[in-house]
Amino acid sequence: MQDIIDGFLKFQREAFPARSELFKELATAQNPEALFIACSDSRVVPELLTQQEPGDLFVMRNAGNIVPAYGPEPGGVSATVEYAVAVLGVTDIIICGHSDCGAMTAISTDMNLDHLPAVANWLAHADAAKAVNAARTHVSAQESLKAMVRGNVIAQLTNIRTHPSVALALDQNRLNLHGWVYDIETGSIDTLDGVTGHFVPLAGNSPDHVTPAVSGLAA
Catalytic (active-site) positions: 39, 41, 43, 98, 101
Sort residue 89 into left (φ over 0), alpha (ψ -120 to 50) or beta: left
Cα–Cα distance measured from residue 180 to residue 175, given in angstroms and rounded to the nearest whole number: 16
Of 92, 66, 96, 89, the closest CA to residue 78 belongs to: 66
Q: Where are the alpha helices (DSSP H) in 109-173?
A: 117-123, 127-135, 141-160, 164-171
C-alpha dihedral sign at 120, 92, 36, 186: positive
Cα–Cα distance measured from residue 73 to residue 219, given in angstroms and rounded to the nearest whole number: 36
Of 4, 142, 166, 140, the closest CA to residue 74 belongs to: 166
First to last CA, the chain: 50
The single-letter code of the amino acid at 196 is T
Of 175, 163, 170, 157, the closest CA to residue 80 belongs to: 163
How many Å is the maximal CA-CA distance in the chain?
55
